[in-house]
């Protein structure tokens, strides 16, 4: 990403920016293969913007102004959806999740969906780390009511989990940060939006799309912007959404990462994360007073740890862990008060067995 032709290529057109255009096409191609969809945008600012964009797209396609969102959504992303989509989707309702499994409550979904629902949005895995295994049922309920389905997905999970398109999602969104993009000073984000190659969906993308086509020179191909007229760059104040410069540079980094990993590498990566998370949960569950996992559904990366029986708050536990040079889990007591004194822990490919053993040992001393 620090190569001069990418780092300094702020803005350019097809006659001058051949490398950048091809790099964005390669990014879209890699993501399309991972998601098993054909149309992928250049990166938005982050996952929150991508999710909100999918809600606006669905509203324009269906002519409806209501969104049903799984209660297990990332709070920051919910805030983005409400803020960015307010002008055309003023009605945002939360769908309950099962207290035992952490999965979406299908009865509540059926109860709340209506002829005014434009989209059903859920994350898989959810913010709380639970893998949603009811994707097909959720999509059927939504489609039977004439609504669309948008799924927020961690792309690094797709080496072991089927992509949203396989269980009925019309739109897939997420963030490319896990794909080799460093989290420096809170940056390193880049949201993606993907759909099938259907004109009614492609026409609603507000961000740039890059494609490849034959040129006037036989046997040669060029890379360019697809259906440019639909963007605010071309239509200005008449556009359906307005966008500015976002995170194309991170898309180039993600493309290189995916190219180097390949299908086998992504599968091994996903398997490694699943194994690490399972090992961590078993180690922490052996500690007296600690309940983990809180939900019975399968997990990827994240899982909830409850400390109610220890008599200590998450804040107290995290303060004690910090003295041992360990960052504790994210305190969920404000975002999800019904979970009591619970924290969200995350295990990724960077954590070793010794890291997880050290965490379990320190936590045992603390509680």
DSSP states of 229-264: GGSHHHHGGGSSS------HHHHHHHHHHHHHHHHH
Cα 339 to Cα 230: distance, rounded to the nearest angstrom: 45
CATH number at residue 282: 3.90.1150.10
Q: End of a domain among 238, 257, 276? A: 257
Largest pairwise CA distance in the chain? 75
Q: Are residues 149 and 72 in the same domain?
A: yes
Residue 349 is assigned to a structural domain of this protein: yes
Tens of pLDDT along 64-74? 999 999 999 99
- Write the CB contacts of 367 (distance below 8 Å, at least 6 apart in sequence): 287, 288, 289, 290, 307, 310, 312, 317
> pLDDT over 90 for what percent of the chain?
82
Q: Are residues 306 and 246 in the same domain?
A: no
Find out whether the peptide bond into 236 is cis, omega within 30 degrees of 0.
no
Residue 320 is assigned to a structural domain of this protein: yes
Domain tally for the chain? Answer: 2
Tens of pLDDT along 305-338? 999 999 999 999 999 999 999 999 999 999 999 9
The end-to-end CA distance of the chain, in Å, is 44
Q: Are residues 113 and 82 in the same domain?
A: yes
Q: Are residues 343 and 228 in the same domain?
A: no
pLDDT of residue 14: 59
Produce one character per residue of 41-56: b if its CB has 16 or more CB atoms within 10 Å, e if not: bbbbbbbbbbbbbbbb
**What is the residue whose two structure tokens read 């792309």?**
155
- What is the pairing mode between strands 342-346 and 39-40? unpaired
Cα 350 to Cα 229: distance, rounded to the nearest angstrom: 43
- pLDDT of 166 > 90? The answer is yes
Q: Are residues 217 and 279 in the same domain?
A: no
Residue 169 is assigned to a structural domain of this protein: yes
The distance from CA 362 to its chain's CA centroid, rounded to whole angstroms, is: 31
pLDDT of residue 16: 66
pTM: 0.95
Tens of pLDDT along 170-180? 999 999 999 99
Cα 2 to Cα 10: distance, rounded to the nearest angstrom: 13
- pLDDT of 34 > 70? The answer is yes
- pLDDT of 12 > 70? The answer is no
Residue 352 is assigned to a structural domain of this protein: yes
Q: What CA–CA distances, in Å, run from 114 to 66, 95, 148?
A: 9, 13, 12
Confidence band of 11 (pLDDT split at 50, 70, 90)? low
Q: Are residues 351 and 214 in the same domain?
A: no
Domain ranges, residue 183: 4-257
Cα 271 to Cα 279: distance, rounded to the nearest angstrom: 12
Is residue 105 within 8 A of residue 126, CB to CB? The reply is no
Q: Are residues 163 and 224 in the same domain?
A: yes
């Amino acid at each position: 990403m620090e190569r001069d032709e990418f780092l300094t290529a702020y803005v350019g057109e097809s006659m001058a920016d051949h490398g950048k255009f091809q790099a964005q096409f390669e990014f879209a191609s890699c993501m399309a293969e991972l998601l098993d969809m054909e149309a992928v945008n250049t990166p938005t600012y982050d996952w929150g913007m991508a999710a909100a964009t999918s809600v606006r797209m669905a509203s324009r396609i269906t002519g409806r102004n209501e969104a049903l969102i799984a209660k297990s959504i990332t709070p920051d992303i919910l805030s983005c959806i409400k803020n960015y989509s307010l002008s055309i989707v003023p009605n945002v309702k939360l769908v309950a999740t099962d207290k035992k499994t952490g999965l979406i409550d299908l009865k509540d979904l059926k109860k709340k969906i209506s002829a005014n629902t434009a989209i059903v949005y859920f994350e898989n895995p959810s913010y709380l780390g639970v893998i949603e295994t009811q994707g097909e049922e959720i999509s059927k309920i939504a489609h039977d009511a004439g609504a669309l389905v948008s799924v927020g997905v961690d792309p690094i999970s797709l080496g072991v989990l089927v992509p949203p398109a396989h269980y009925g999602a019309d739109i897939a969104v997420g963030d490319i940060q896990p794909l080799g993009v460093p989290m420096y000073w809170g940056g390193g984000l880049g949201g993606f939006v993907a759909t099938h190659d259907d004109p009614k969906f492609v026409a609603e993308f507000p961000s740039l799309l890059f494609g490849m086509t034959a040129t006037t020179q036989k046997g040669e191909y060029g890379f360019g912007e697809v259906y440019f007229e639909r963007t605010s760059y071309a239509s200005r104040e008449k556009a359906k959404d307005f966008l500015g410069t976002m995170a194309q540079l991170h898309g180039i980094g993600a493309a290189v990462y995916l190219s180097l990993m390949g299908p086998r590498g992504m599968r091994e990566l996903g398997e490694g994360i699943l194994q690490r998370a399972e090992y961590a949960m078993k180690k922490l569950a052996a500690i007296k007073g600690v309940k983990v996992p809180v939900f019975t559904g399968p997990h990827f990366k994240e899982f909830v740890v409850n400390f109610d029986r220890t008599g200590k708050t998450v804040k107290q536990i995290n303060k004690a862990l910090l003295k041992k040079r360990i960052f504790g889990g994210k305190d969920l007591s404000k975002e999800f008060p019904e979970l009591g004194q619970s924290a969200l822990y995350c295990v990724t490919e960077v954590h070793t067995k010794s890291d997880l053993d050290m965490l379990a040992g320190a936590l045992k001393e603390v509680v």
